[in-house]
Structure 1
């Protein structure tokens, strides 16, 4: 009885500290990410399952640095860049970041609309896309930060749906374990392209900005004056749990496609609605519904993070009044930038840019900016003028340096594949 009460107390205390890290990690598995992971499993079967083990520590290290920067400085990453680094670096991040985020938003809206159309075929995809965009604008503008954060936390539950499907069919768990813990590499264009896509999808620059800003916002709301060991420990747990959830979901989406689509000879999945359609005759309507509902839930989770991170980047660059707690009249430029990013993303549905094209362009832009930004984050994390006595640990620097090298190699590979 005593042990049960202790366990219950530990669970409650853990749930209490979950916040920006959980939301950031969960939002990484947006409809665009789901499409990428599904294509990975469909094309290469179980051979890429090991990537989830590699990306987890890399994501946790970089997001942990960003979170610490937000906590210590009480500012977003953009403000830190503006105050301590040359303006061309900041403007370069904005130049490459904005198109990538907008294309990502467009692909997610399109994916949500297409999946909803499968559930209700009499209503066109465009109608659902407009409806979802309107709902997102309403939620972001009307609700304060704490309410939005609570909504996003509950939407994280939708990700758990993807853990169900692999258990609905007979699995060779020994083969799955072998491919999870023993990496397989094929040195050809298709396989290396998929690895680059996975890295670009999981370690995305917009998440760095969102994490730092949300930690600063969260600190402001909790009225924590001192960033002591307890605050840093809580942040670390929050980030690690969020990144773990993200990678577990990634693992199970790849596993679903590898165990259902790959054996059926389905090698090409360009969109999330194609993935859902392919699942239905092979696993059943229940699995198809799980996949479809999960896409819509993750869209409502991921798009506010995308649009919000872009708006904060702009506001922090140009000194606008910003914050999801602010009323529209007090932060007009901030909210107008969110509205515009959603509307431009929505317009991609009507000008002939397909989701797969959007994802390709997004991956290129993320791939080019991520190594530069990771290098800067590493520098900030070790800068005592900024971080005081809260600089990076040796482990953080090792993992961060490894992430920098891998993402640089991915960027070079990405450019090589596009131009040769």
Structure 2
């Protein structure tokens, strides 16, 4: 079967039919993989990190969120360009152009990291739901996990992507939480322009944690694979190596989409940090361990409405993050194993791919029945993600800069430099996190 026939079939599966010419771009058409990746970045693990930083250091770490934003943009733009240019995700490109053992290392590290993150997110979401409406915790874990699997497997691709886009609105809960508390904006501005720097272990560990959640490796796999999938199912799109005339418009769309998505992630992180700084830190409540503890602590300080908004945001962001975590694993393993992959495929066409989505989610749910400690799970999720990020980022940069892979659309020197800065920062962060935290956890 020819490539054009296969692309036509993919479009039909996704509920799309070919058109004669391009339509006027719409907002939801421009904002896609980048927006979803940015919103999924603010999962319960990230919420906990930002809440801890605000409660512990007040406004003193707001500058870090702004500092990491350019690196987030660079990394996600590169991953998106690899997917859109080649028509394959990261794992598919690593399989074609790098030694097999490197692919196995990257995918082998990604799998446990994502499963632990799914388990931690499900745990926190179930606790938030229990606090909001009552009831037992573990059935909520199963319910949320089942909903995530069923929607990914059985919902039509274009409709599912639209649901993910609209789910990003749940992040407005954290913008609303800022409006519900009394914030001294002058002090916030001073802390950003003239940050109160410190060099103790807790301060440095918090900086490392913020960089860790901002540069999560599962987002690279997801955004590259979603760009490749969108290219397969949308009319008139071809891999840019085969249709370089489409490159200017495609690269501009990727740039706008990613800038917006990462801006959403950063602004929400700032909102969480400012909210907890203005309430919990101001009241001396500095020992926050999870996002749920932050929500509970807000109730007596900022009122029941702020608590409800914060807790609802945990559930909404988790519903976005868990499918991205499970989906990125399925894309990575499927491309590595040369399976038929893609959310636009029917379940019987991609049984192994959808089976991986289900198994990863259900294993994460099952871990909650083993006495999982959410605090340790969140920590080890951050460590594993940091470890995975270093080799994956390095491989992605090599692919994106190689003419054999990208043709005449290899990334420019500026993007390469920014990418290697992200690799260096991530590697240093992993070393610092392990050196400062593991001895205490194991003691």
Question: Are 1:64 and 2:77 matched, yes or no?
Answer: yes
The corresponding residue for 1:176 is 188
TM-score by length of 1: 0.94
TM-score by length of 2: 0.90
The corresponding residue for 2:121 is 108
The corresponding residue for 1:399 is 418
The corresponding residue for 2:337 is 318
**TM-superposed deviation, 1:419:** 5.0
| Within-5 A mapping of 1:249-288 | 249-288=268-307
| Within-5 A mapping of 1:233-248 | 233-248=252-267
Aligned residue-pair number: 409
The corresponding residue for 2:138 is 126
* Equivalent pair of 2:83/2:224 in contact (CA under 8 Å): yes
Deviates more, 1:18-27 or 1:166-175: 166-175
**TM-superposed deviation, 1:387:** 0.9
Structure 1 unpaired stretches of 5+: 1-10
| Distance across 2 between alignment mates of 1:399 and 1:381 | 13
Question: Are 1:32 and 2:35 matched, yes or no?
Answer: no
Deviates more, 1:87-96 or 1:149-158: 87-96
> Residue 50 of structure 1 aligns to a residue in which SS?
helix
**TM-superposed deviation, 1:299:** 0.9
Question: Are 1:48 and 2:64 matched, yes or no?
Answer: no
| Distance across 2 between alignment mates of 1:418 and 1:159 | 30
The corresponding residue for 1:85 is 98
The corresponding residue for 1:214 is 226
| Distance across 2 between alignment mates of 1:349 and 1:26 | 24
The corresponding residue for 2:176 is 164
**TM-superposed deviation, 1:255:** 0.7
Deviates more, 1:191-200 or 1:245-254: 191-200
**TM-superposed deviation, 1:214:** 0.2
> Residue 356 of structure 1 aligns to a residue in which SS?
helix
> Residue 109 of structure 1 aligns to a residue in which SS?
helix
| Distance across 2 between alignment mates of 1:231 and 1:70 | 11
> Residue 329 of structure 1 aligns to a residue in which SS?
coil
**TM-superposed deviation, 1:276:** 1.2
- 2:383 aligned residue (364, 370, 377): 364
The corresponding residue for 2:214 is 202
The corresponding residue for 1:74 is 87
* Equivalent pair of 1:367/1:414 in contact (CA under 8 Å): no
Question: Are 1:340 and 2:359 matched, yes or no?
Answer: yes
* Equivalent pair of 2:59/2:191 in contact (CA under 8 Å): yes
Moved over 4 A (4+): none
